[in-house]
Structure 1
């Protein structure tokens, strides 16, 4: 069992505050950022938000349009005028064939803050999309770290099983020798064989879980690399352990409130008037005295639009936007309370796991000494095989439990980092 102790010397420490970034884990996380489809989707959403800001700002720019039309009109207005004692002349006020081609200009001169409200709303939506992307990145990093340390845990557990199986095989040889000497019973050998089969069955289950973790690593980070380290190395960042202000989910919830307020402001500005400059220049016919001649023409002026009544749609939109602000404020409060509860729970778990790990250190030392004494006593014929089996089982349970608690504590640190918004994979 000395080999078992040697395995756990390598896995007994978790690097905490001021530890170096795990380069292998950092590489996998950054690789997952480039590969995982969900992040690519959120990045495209962010790019669309930037385009929406440009669209909103374009309302400040003039719009030019080219127009061309042809109309045939019949009948047309005409009148007869006397031009002499016996002569009249018919004047046609409009040609049958009407041609018109021009370029028109429409420029917002002043819209009482309507365009700026639309820009502010687009900016707020963009910031919200960026926080959502950061939340997804942190969630993915936590998932990759969980898989990474899960592979390490299962690899160490499999090595422990191999050592335990080797220990039982050595015991089997000892029991076989004692049977030949008449100092042991055949049932002792059957018990050893049964123990070996049980441990091999546990190893098969651990190997199945190990392969599943490798498949998950391929899915999230597109990597088949097996972690080369054998410890639970996770960088912790020294900060306020009770503050959730850096959590991107909280930042996104705050931004959703601001976005809803910007939407309310935009809805309120829809009630305000808009003053535009309008102009066009082109060619058309229909001018007296020769109505068939196509002539150059232009116009320029101002256009004031004042909303008066739209079937209460504007007021209903304002009311809906105000309710949306209230809803987002409630959602933010609920999210903050939930995350605070989760943070306090995981920190309580981390503290408890630390105490349990310290407790198992002394248990392992005691169980290892008990196993050594029982082996000596069994070889000298003072103890029975059941005493040796109980001693080895106690040491196995202590080692396995300590490994499990170290792994659970590491998962707790990962969840704590996610809740606090700590980027443990960055320098």
Structure 2
């Protein structure tokens, strides 16, 4: 009687593990440490790619300031000394010789130059740089979205590997207990060496599978540490989170949402505006410039006291009208117009790619959902088959190996269901991303 109870306990362990896994959906065990939201928030704030994009934003601000500087005057100070020789002199009888310029000439001036009107050239330049900043802002959002996608892929790969290792541990525990049980039966002549060898081969196979899973887990942990900026040797454990949902929308609504919210379409729109502003700026390239200038300071050389410094100034207006620029404006306009056409084609390419992603994402969600349903059915069937196998084993109809087959089928079904649920969760995130929903 005790032997029968021990048999039931040993072979019932996989079923207990399944029930524990099922109740853990959306929950975390005491050893869990990192949630998906925590990782995404940290990565989208501290990752070098985000910081680089933020620096690009500072560069955009500097470019705007540089363009606006054309509204301000240019002020400089100039000083000079020169010695002239020979100089012209005039001699008047009984009065001596006189010169009109000194040998030594000194001057110090402050010069101010101010553009009064450039027919909108500076205004167009400022608008162009401000639009460039909008493009940079949108690029930052795209960087964060792509990093979030990378985090999600890494996170759920780790979830799968962690849980798969637990399942393999349960399999090994069951197989080792079964091996001990068979060895005891062999001592009484109730089991053969074949049963022992078969069990040992299965243990070796599971151990190899566990080694592969552990290696893959270490690689994913290293990638997670890289995303978080932590030492590669840092040990990380992630929580089990599979409660993501997607609002029910028809295919057309999903595509419309993607066209409105995807970063690629927003970037294409910003690039189109930027290309048009570049063309407008090029059109103003040869506009006249009206400017004023003022210089004031001290210098010598004024008669009759040539060497005495005197205050002086000069003020005036100037007009600069380009007449011929070697066809630079024409060629710049050709390039600007070509950039507009190129951007239109890139927008269409992005649109088609997004449509494909949405359709593919929706199909993957539906397929993954069916796999989850099939996996749940398969697990129920495996449990039922295992329960029947225990009854048949207790009646002496089947051998230990056949009962072990049922236990293995339960574990494999459990692993397949786990993978199906994770694939379904990841496919939901991919569809959310495809429709332009923020993942961070």
Structure 2 residue 71 is matched with structure 1 residue 64: no
Which of residues 26, 48, 58 in structure 2 aligns to 1:47?
Answer: 58
Check 1:175–1:394 CA distance in 2 against 1; reply closer, same or farther (3 A cut).
same
> For residues 116-155 of structure 1, what are the structure 2 equivalents within 5 Å?
116-155=123-162
State the SS of the aligned residue for 2:110: strand
Distance 1:133 1:285 in 2: 60
Q: Which residue of 2 aligns with 1:28?
A: 39
Distance 1:308 1:108 in 2: 19
Distance 1:234 1:73 in 2: 87
**Contact 2:372-2:424 within 8 A present in 1 as well:** no
Report deviation, 1:389. 4.0
Distance 2:133 2:240 in 1: 42
Structure 2 residue 214 is matched with structure 1 residue 207: yes
State the SS of the aligned residue for 1:279: strand
**Contact 1:276-1:304 within 8 A present in 2 as well:** yes
Distance 1:160 1:226 in 2: 19
Quick check: 291-300 or 361-370, which moved more?
A: 291-300
Distance 2:202 2:394 in 1: 19
Quick check: 302-311 or 394-403, which moved more?
A: 394-403
State the SS of the aligned residue for 2:293: strand
Q: Which runs of 5+ in 1 are unaligned?
A: 15-21
Report deviation, 1:230. 2.6
Report deviation, 1:11. 5.4
Q: Which residue of 1 aligns with 2:263?
A: 248
> For residues 232-247 of structure 1, what are the structure 2 equivalents within 5 Å?
232-234=242-244, 236=246, 240-242=253-255, 243-244=257-258, 245-247=260-262
- In the comparison of the two structures, how many residue pairs are matched? 414
> For residues 267-278 of structure 1, what are the structure 2 equivalents within 5 Å?
267-278=282-293
Structure 2 residue 312 is matched with structure 1 residue 297: yes
Distance 2:170 2:313 in 1: 95
Q: Which residue of 2 aligns with 1:334?
A: 349
Distance 2:187 2:394 in 1: 14
**Contact 1:10-1:231 within 8 A present in 2 as well:** no
**Contact 1:11-1:232 within 8 A present in 2 as well:** no
Structure 2 residue 265 is matched with structure 1 residue 258: no
Aligned-pair RMSD on alpha carbons? 2.4
Report deviation, 1:302. 1.1
Which of residues 155, 165, 171 in structure 2 aligns to 1:164?
Answer: 171
**Contact 1:95-1:291 within 8 A present in 2 as well:** yes
State the SS of the aligned residue for 1:296: strand
Q: Which residue of 2 aligns with 1:216?
A: 223
**Contact 1:3-1:163 within 8 A present in 2 as well:** no
**Contact 1:114-1:266 within 8 A present in 2 as well:** yes
Check 1:194–1:46 CA distance in 2 against 1; reply closer, same or farther (3 A cut).
same
Describe the superposition over 1:337-388 as per-residue Cα deviations: whole angstroms up to 9, x where unpaired: 1122122212211110001100111111011111121233234321134533
Check 1:236–1:96 CA distance in 2 against 1; reply closer, same or farther (3 A cut).
farther
Q: Which residue of 2 aligns with 1:80?
A: 90
Distance 1:297 1:366 in 2: 104
**Contact 1:234-1:424 within 8 A present in 2 as well:** no
Quick check: 87-96 or 250-259, which moved more?
A: 87-96
**Contact 2:375-2:420 within 8 A present in 1 as well:** no
**Contact 2:368-2:427 within 8 A present in 1 as well:** no
Distance 1:220 1:308 in 2: 57
Report deviation, 1:265. 1.4
Q: Which residue of 2 aligns with 1:325?
A: 340
Describe the superposition over 1:213-257 as per-residue Cα deviations: whole angstroms up to 9, x where unpaired: 221111111355744533324465778532222222321222122
Report deviation, 1:13. 6.6
State the SS of the aligned residue for 1:298: strand
Quick check: 22-31 or 59-68, which moved more?
A: 22-31
Superposed structure 1 runs of 4+ greater than 4 Å apart: 11-14, 86-91, 235-240
State the SS of the aligned residue for 1:241: helix
Q: TM-score, normalised by structure 1?
A: 0.89
Q: Which residue of 2 aligns with 1:17?
A: none
Distance 2:16 2:418 in 1: 15
Report deviation, 1:96. 2.5
**Contact 2:155-2:238 within 8 A present in 1 as well:** no
Report deviation, 1:181. 4.3
